[in-house]
Amino acid sequence: MSPETIKVFNKLFDKKTDLASQKIELGSIEDAIKEKQKEAERLSNTVNGYAANARDISNGIDRAERYYKEAKSSFEKFINSEKAYNDILDDVDKFYNVLKRDGFKALNDFDDINEELKKYDANVKPFKDNSKEMLKAVADWKSIPNRFKKIK
């Protein structure tokens, strides 16, 4: 073999070695890329899971806000109703005290007059008609203290 042939073979052999090492490097890079792709897919699945959790949390917050608004509205209605209740109760209390003082006296006076008229055989028919109303009023009168205690 001529020295030139040997030189050519040496050059070819060196090039072949370089190509083989480059092939190994390319294979390593492809493996690294595949590994990174798998890692990216795992991370994507994890992120999708967190996104689903975030949507659930967001929906939960929306429901909680809706219930809060309903509760707040109900509470405001309660406060307004309580104020109206207390105002009416104050009025009822005033009327009840007037009724205890003046109504009971009028009822006793009516009974006294009715009894007085009966002694003289006076015509008590108009008073009998009123007596039915008075008896109803007496029944109502007797039930007031218990009803009043219940609402206080």
Neighbours of 111 (CB within 10 A): 13
User: If you ran DSSP here, which 8-state letter would residue 123 be given?
Assistant: -
CA 41 to chain centre: 40
Provide the mean pLDDT of the chain: 75
Q: How far apart are CA 132 and CA 77, in angstroms?
A: 41
3-state secondary structure (DSSP) of residue 107: helix
Q: Which helix or strand (DSSP H or E) is residue 21 part of?
A: helix 3-98
Q: Give the closest residue to 107 by CA, choosing from 138, 130, 146.
A: 138
Q: Where are the domains of the chain?
A: 3-151
User: If you ran DSSP here, which 8-state letter would residue 145 be given?
Assistant: H
Residue pLDDT, tens place only, 72-103: 999 999 999 989 988 888 888 787 777 777 77
Task: Please indicate, yes or no, whether the overall pTM of this predicted structure exceeds 0.75.
Answer: no
